[in-house]
């Protein structure tokens, strides 16, 4: 199948990170928050993602084997820091897992990855009730989801 370029227009106020979808799935070659801007999109061999989510990871979710088993692909992350939290641990079914808890003096180093809505749902299913997904502002200024003590 030849690569076709389609043009789409996003309304004013849509944040970057939105992706367009076609029958084969497409992605934005150029992202912008500008109103009524035309975006070039190209076919992408994927499930046709509509929206991506930033997720701050600091433990088992950074393991490529876990990524492949939970949401089906490896995800490259960008280093970032979450302030006012610190690392801790939790025992689940006899195994020890990383966990973060609020701490005014703390900070946690991790990675920011981008996942689709359906991937985020799979990650929610992977995490137990011991974890809660909350939205945070990272040191970089990025807004991301993170799993903390539930």
Smallest Cα–Cα separation from 20: which of 54, 53, 48, 52? 48
Cβ proximity of 114 and 74 under 8 Å: no
Active site residue 127: yes
Q: Determine which one of 121, 127, 132, 139 is catalytic.
A: 127
| 38-43, strands of its sheet edge to edge | 6-9, 38-43, 26-28
3-state SS class at 139 = coil
Q: How far is the C-alpha of 99 from the C-alpha of 109, rounded, in Å?
A: 13
Ramachandran bin of 94, using left for φ above 0, alpha for ψ from -120 to 50, beta for the remaining angles = left
Q: Tokens for 130?
A: 């011991």
Q: How far is the C-alpha of 27 from the C-alpha of 14, rounded, in Å?
A: 15
Annotated catalytic sites, by residue?
127
């Amino acid at each position: 199948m030849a690569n076709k370029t389609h043009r789409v227009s996003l309304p004013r106020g849509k944040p970057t990170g939105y992706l367009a979808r076609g029958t084969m799935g497409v992605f934005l070659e150029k992202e912008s928050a500008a109103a009524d801007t035309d975006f070039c999109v190209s076919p992408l061999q994927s499930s046709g993602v509509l929206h991506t989510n930033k997720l701050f990871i600091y433990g088992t979710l950074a393991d490529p084997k876990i990524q492949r088993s939970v949401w089906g692909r490896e995800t490259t992350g960008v280093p970032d820091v979450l302030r006012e939290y610190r690392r801790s641990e939790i025992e689940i079914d006899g195994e020890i897992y990383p966990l973060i808890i609020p701490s005014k003096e703390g900070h946690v180093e991790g990675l920011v990855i981008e996942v689709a809505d359906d991937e985020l749902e799979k990650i929610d299913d992977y995490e137990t009730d011991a974890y809660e997904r909350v939205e945070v502002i990272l040191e970089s200024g990025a807004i991301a989801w993170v799993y903390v003590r539930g």
